[in-house]
Every structure is written in structure tokens, then in C-alpha cells.
Amino acid sequence: MSDLLGDITKEIIGSFVLGFMAIVFIIVLVTIGEATGQSTIANQAIQTIIILAFGIGLPIGIISLIKFLGGLSHGSSNYY
């Protein structure tokens, strides 16, 4: 049980760190795009980051959380 809780905590912390890094990267892209006059390319890169975060990252996170909680509810453990 404590390993499961530790794993879920690490997953949550990792997702927050990844989200923070994506926000910082988006801010950097906006700044560079405005400074160089290439805001359309920066906007396309930002849309790509958002699609990757919500289109791929969110479902994978939900699936891993379901797998963690599914193993907990069935009472099955891999420890002997």
C-alpha cells in the first residue's frame, strides 16, 4: 500500500513538473516569436505542445491511474 501511494505521489509530482515546464516553454516561444517577428511559427509550436499534452499525456496519465487503482481494488499484489 505504501509503495502504491508513493508511486501515485511521484506520478502527480511528475505531471505538475512537466506541466510547469510546458508553460515555461510556451512563454519562451511567445517571447521569441514576438522578438523575431515569427509569431505564426511560434503559435503553431504552441498548438503542437498543447495537443501533445492533452491529446497524449492526459489519456496516458488517466490509464496509469486506473491501472494503479485497479490493482489496489482487486487486492492482488505481486509481493510474496
39, 33 contact by CB (below 8 A): yes
Q: Is the pLDDT of residue 23 over 80?
A: yes
Confidence band, pLDDT 50/70/90 cuts, at residue 80: very low
pLDDT in tens, 45-74: 888 888 887 788 778 878 877 877 776 555
Check if the beta carbon of residue 68 is closer than 8 Å to that of residue 10.
no
Question: How much is the pLDDT for 75?
Answer: 54
Which sequence spans correspond to the domains of the chain? 2-72
